[in-house]
Structure 1
């Protein structure tokens, strides 16, 4: 450190000494905060012990700052560009492979050269605020002349304000939220307020007697936030798109950065502190012995907080993960919200609804028994692998879509829908507390409803498959499948000697993806107004009549997600095994209802000449397959729903206790539900 400080003189202008100085502060491991803190304190003591070195370093830093433009650092780093999601994604991928060239014009490029490691923000943020402020106070002692940082901050405020106005006028926003066209848009008014504020600031710097007041400007920014909140709330009902989501994220980031910059440049003392940083905690630790006002200390703390935010955003500015995190959680929120509304229909509140769920799933079991027959017949054709995969896929897809059209229920489709409903129950009104008893009650309803649906599927799929196999024998004079095939069917559901449970997990992943697909298409149908668009088709209206066409449009808008989710789920079930064979991976699927149907078919084909041990193992096998189907799909769906809502959940043990408490208090109601649901409502 001392050698680097001695090399800095009045003629030093390059960035290299500063890069070397930062290198001496950087610990070998980014998580070694103690070493980083010790390095910062060592540099501070060196500068305090030699004021000449501190003065040389200060003048050198001022020369660097004076020779570079600042505004882009404050207005662009950590804020999404206006280019759109896919353009930004392509740019980040390209720059991850080959970073852009550095220049000497912008301060952001100096940051690139100094903090070139992606993990630098970790140790910088780990060093206590008091140590950074002590180093800053030692180096950046006051000197005569204008504030060298102020012009860049004011220019960044102006840039962000114009950007907010431009995004607020995007047709994607105004067409979705037409109220902005009926009244004066707050996105436009805030720009007028910013221009007025900056004009007053310029007159004040020129020596004029001006009373600056940013309160009305901040009110307009609050109104902009209100419009964004209304659009997001409306999107939960009417759907959203990637473009709309990207614009909302960009707007929110720009307004938040605008508030932080306004707080730093404000001289009136009336501007409230940005709520995104704990300034109290930073200020309390920021050298209390230093004779500065409380307001000045809090301002320095806010500046440090913004600097840390910029450094972290800079280190991650080419990270694709952060781009997805900023955007996809809103889109996923809307997708899972649609699944959540669908999931309401998969939760039985009382015994009458439980009986209805059993009958609905029993109807699906009958169709699954027929689908199992068709799959066996398709398999007997011995067609080419891709042709066989197509036939299997169409059998699954059309069968599941028929189940949906008839308002029947496939038990394994429930978890992906109900998990989002549970995640919605995790989010308390204040966002801080979770009513574990109510959540346990909801989970209890979900569990018993899903168990009822599984039993309903099996209760009819198994006898239906047995009946088909027996009728085939009576009518055709031979069994539906050979004994070798029957043994193979039983072997496929062996949970011990085969990877059946692994394949059940693969099916669970497919079920989870089908749930996301359902939510996605429900979102698209709402956002693009499928019902209205179909109702406007003149050719279809001439064929079916206006009333029928309108009803068809309404039906498709309300059921497009369910139909497409079932269709793609069938495609996945029908092709996974073939794809695994083609690429040499041992992957396949096992589904509880089809496994139960295959078990019944195999029993008939073997003339019931099987040991009781094989029967028990097979029954345990398809029940275990069902459990894995449910657990995997439910776990993944709940994880995505929690991430989409950004809900941390660390109450697993307390939740299990609440579940056991409810089961012990009313075991009959817990497992089969109450008679009228009154207990749940209480």
Structure 2
């Protein structure tokens, strides 16, 4: 062992730093095998510059020390070649421990610095708030995160929460922190901590903050767990028996007895009971409708319980390496959640998933009756769609009438939206079908079926679902388009016979035909946009049904005093049952009507030439235009191109809405790709073997009955 050279007992603080001779002497003493190692030289300069006053100066020094620790140049094998090779950070920690053991003066300076930082900072916010949602609801939390992302934050130098993010500003820093050796950290803490009994002063202050955080978390979690909407969906027990109320009492006992082992065991049991209540509330939401705010609060309860367990593990761990192992696990979790909880996107992704899944399930439940199996059902679909085409022809005529009136843009959009919405609602009430409403809801049904498993015999059954969906869609298109054009033509001719002039002016008819040209206009882009609107309307319908079920509106209507007096008990019950059954359709139809009407208005507001191309309305508009222009004009290239544009619009309406609905439904149900790919291969193989099944129902319907469990009815 090399004889250590003399070094100053307590290096003076100089603005110019230590001399080269002092640095060389220090390096020879602590790195005889590699005295030129920059890790040793930088550490000596850092230890010679320990500030004596001011919290901000001390925090800056801690930040510099962390940067030194994170340098990639290792400091192992500086003394003995037989030293085990360590990661760079651990090798530097080991060097720091060796220096603290051999330099009492430097150790004293670092001890004073650590004690001053702990004395001037508080860890309550770090342990009880960082990484946990702060708001009382989803929208309050989202707005708070958005404000924090856009507005600068005021400094809080007296809180350890700011020091954590100051030292580790990047999300990936959590992985580096997790790789540090708890044993080396425990050694270093024992050296630089104030050794006065019963515990080092810095550790005692941090332990007091952990105790306070445990109590604060218990109070907040108890308030969330005993809220009315949580209690209404919890197992029926007396309020005084709620584990959330017991949680506060147990934490009081933990604090009173300084985290004795039996009190921590009671806390663990109480946390497990609280988790059971949260699980029962979540199962109730799965069955009866979802609220984003309630899902958010349940998530906050879960994470608060996890934090309480992590704090309890730190308090209950023996001193030394075991306690530091638990403390580092807590710090890593704090850092990861602190960075993740800055994102509004992550908040929405985590809390809206259950709502999205329930909306998709309800849309899928609505889509079951759009899928036919037998020839009788296939023909019934054609007849139902024919009725939808008839109503649509009348709506197209009213749209032209409204566009010819001298109305302000607001009233024109309102009238057009009401026209569309009333037409779609009338189609629903009369039991008719609109072909473009099918893709988004049948896609949800398909995703639900695939999500239950697509292997073995079930895969063969699921493959039969695609031909059923395809031919059902074709039947709806045939009924809609086969009737809307003749009905519109009949209305135009009847108007011309009654009034003596055409329904549309020649200029209006020519402009309508020109606007539908597939490549000389924006028809294809507008048709794709309409597909998006069709999908959005199905989401709105699922959301309304979820709202109706969650708020228990059918039960409220069935027991409403005025309704029971006017309609009788049976009538009020029938109205409640009708609302539960029709809510999704009503929400989707009204939303679609106003989306189609408002999109051009909103586009003009922003200077964009937006429009919609709904295939049924497009064909009806062409029929009215053809009645005005005459038979000769119908055979002209421009009119035939407009017919091609109508066909492409229908294809895009279907493709876009179906793709969006299927993709969102797959993600909402967490359907893995490994389940979807074999299913797609099997469908393509079935198309090659039996293409007719995609167009017409089979002669023997017994082989075409799909035995797929449907989503539960709300």
TM-score by length of 2: 0.78
**What do residues 546-595 of structure 1 show as CA deviations (whole Å, max 9, x unaligned)?**
43233223322332332132112111212222332343211111101111
* Cα distance change on mapping 1:170 and 1:514 into 2, 3 Å: same
Structure 1 residue 636: Cα displacement = 3.0
Is 2:570 the partner of 1:570? Answer: no
Is 2:106 the partner of 1:80? Answer: no
* Cα distance change on mapping 1:575 and 1:111 into 2, 3 Å: same
Distance 1:16 1:346 in 2: 67
* Cα distance change on mapping 1:654 and 1:27 into 2, 3 Å: farther
* Cα distance change on mapping 1:623 and 1:228 into 2, 3 Å: farther
Q: Give matches, 1:87-166, under 5 Å.
A: 87-115=140-168, 117=169, 120-122=170-172, 124-127=173-176, 129-131=178-180, 136=185, 139-141=188-190, 144=195, 145-146=199-200, 147-148=203-204, 149-166=206-223
Extract unaligned runs of 5+ from structure 2.
1-41, 73-85, 709-714
Match among 395, 398, 401 for residue 422 of structure 2: 398
Contact 1:12-1:60 within 8 A present in 2 as well: no
* Cα distance change on mapping 1:604 and 1:318 into 2, 3 Å: same
Is 2:687 the partner of 1:663? Answer: yes
How many residues in Structure 1 have an aligned counterpart in Structure 2? 636
Contact 1:591-1:626 within 8 A present in 2 as well: yes
**What do residues 176-205 of structure 1 show as CA deviations (whole Å, max 9, x unaligned)?**
446244893232344444445555554x4x
Contact 2:373-2:705 within 8 A present in 1 as well: no
State the SS of the aligned residue for 1:245.
helix
Structure 1 residue 651: Cα displacement = 6.2
Q: Which residue of 1 aligns with 2:350?
A: 326
Structure whose CA Rg is larger: 2
Contact 1:330-1:644 within 8 A present in 2 as well: yes
When structure 1 is superposed on structure 2, of 403-412 and 81-90 the one drifting more is: 81-90
Structure 1 residue 440: Cα displacement = 4.9
Contact 1:77-1:310 within 8 A present in 2 as well: yes
Q: Which residue of 2 aligns with 1:279?
A: none
Contact 2:391-2:423 within 8 A present in 1 as well: yes
Distance 1:587 1:373 in 2: 22
* Cα distance change on mapping 1:200 and 1:399 into 2, 3 Å: same
Distance 2:163 2:478 in 1: 65
Distance 2:511 2:683 in 1: 40
Distance 2:310 2:372 in 1: 49
Q: Which residue of 1 aligns with 2:35?
A: none
**What do residues 90-142 of structure 1 show as CA deviations (whole Å, max 9, x unaligned)?**
43343334444333442113224434x4xx112x1454844565874674456
* Cα distance change on mapping 1:108 and 1:441 into 2, 3 Å: farther
Q: Which residue of 2 aligns with 1:175?
A: 232
* Cα distance change on mapping 1:540 and 1:130 into 2, 3 Å: closer
Match among 650, 672, 681 for residue 626 of structure 1: 650
Contact 2:524-2:648 within 8 A present in 1 as well: yes
Contact 1:58-1:141 within 8 A present in 2 as well: no
Match among 301, 308, 331 for residue 251 of structure 1: 301
Q: Which residue of 2 aligns with 1:284?
A: none
Distance 2:596 2:690 in 1: 40
Q: Which residue of 2 aligns with 1:228?
A: 278
Distance 2:374 2:184 in 1: 66
Distance 1:16 1:57 in 2: 14
Contact 2:165-2:335 within 8 A present in 1 as well: no
State the SS of the aligned residue for 1:676.
helix
* Cα distance change on mapping 1:302 and 1:552 into 2, 3 Å: same
State the superposition RMSD in angstroms: 3.8
Contact 1:358-1:453 within 8 A present in 2 as well: yes
Is 2:414 the partner of 1:387? Answer: no
Is 2:702 the partner of 1:676? Answer: yes
Distance 1:101 1:679 in 2: 65
Structure 1 residue 349: Cα displacement = 4.2
Structure 1 residue 42: Cα displacement = 7.9
Match among 111, 121, 124 for residue 71 of structure 1: 124
Q: Which residue of 2 aligns with 1:18?
A: 62
* Cα distance change on mapping 1:582 and 1:195 into 2, 3 Å: closer
Q: Which residue of 2 aligns with 1:276?
A: none
Is 2:31 the partner of 1:8? Answer: no
* Cα distance change on mapping 1:678 and 1:637 into 2, 3 Å: closer
Q: Which residue of 2 aligns with 1:283?
A: none
Match among 553, 557, 560 for residue 580 of structure 2: 557
* Cα distance change on mapping 1:305 and 1:337 into 2, 3 Å: farther
Q: Which residue of 2 aligns with 1:186?
A: 243
* Cα distance change on mapping 1:558 and 1:104 into 2, 3 Å: same
* Cα distance change on mapping 1:353 and 1:258 into 2, 3 Å: farther
Structure 1 residue 524: Cα displacement = 1.7
* Cα distance change on mapping 1:264 and 1:344 into 2, 3 Å: farther
* Cα distance change on mapping 1:266 and 1:639 into 2, 3 Å: farther
* Cα distance change on mapping 1:189 and 1:668 into 2, 3 Å: farther
Structure 1 residue 622: Cα displacement = 1.5
State the SS of the aligned residue for 2:241.
coil
Distance 1:228 1:18 in 2: 41
Structure 1 residue 398: Cα displacement = 0.7
Contact 1:10-1:60 within 8 A present in 2 as well: yes
* Cα distance change on mapping 1:652 and 1:239 into 2, 3 Å: closer
Match among 522, 527, 540 for residue 504 of structure 1: 527
* Cα distance change on mapping 1:79 and 1:618 into 2, 3 Å: same
State the SS of the aligned residue for 1:15.
helix
